[in-house]
Structure 1
Amino acid sequence: MNDVVEKLVCDDDIRDIIVRQITDYKRSHHSFGSATAVRNRAKMSPENWWDQYGIDCPELQTLAI
């Protein structure tokens, strides 16, 4: 994942934000941890899921979409 961020994001400050947001995603913090978000990870398309549940991490959301 770090390689992807390194290649796709030019701004070092945004990279740092995204790396922190990845931790939030992995630990199911914020909107990522709601029961609905967890349940829908496997049911929704990735683009729709990120659009719906990535609102607390807009930089990571943009990268994911």
Structure 2
Amino acid sequence: MGIKLKRYLDEIPQEIIELCDELGFPLIQIPYDLAWIDVINAVNSVAMNRYIIRINDRKNADRLQ
């Protein structure tokens, strides 16, 4: 979960931090001056790169058989 502070909250409530810790749920504080589209693009880029690596690994494994 990404939370951008200053617009609605000045800080993340401790209860939320503790709940996320208990559940093993990632909690990310987004800087106020960072545009959401920049966050989304960065996450998508990492996800796509990992996907491409897995596809290439499968292709290489198939070639070895």
- TM-score, length of structure 1 as denominator length: 0.28
Where relative contact order (Cα < 8 A, 6+ residues apart) is larger, the structure is 2
Find the structure with the greater CA-based Rg.
Answer: 2
Larger helix proportion, structure 1 or 2?
Answer: 1
Larger strand proportion, structure 1 or 2?
Answer: 2
- TM-score, length of structure 2 as denominator length: 0.28
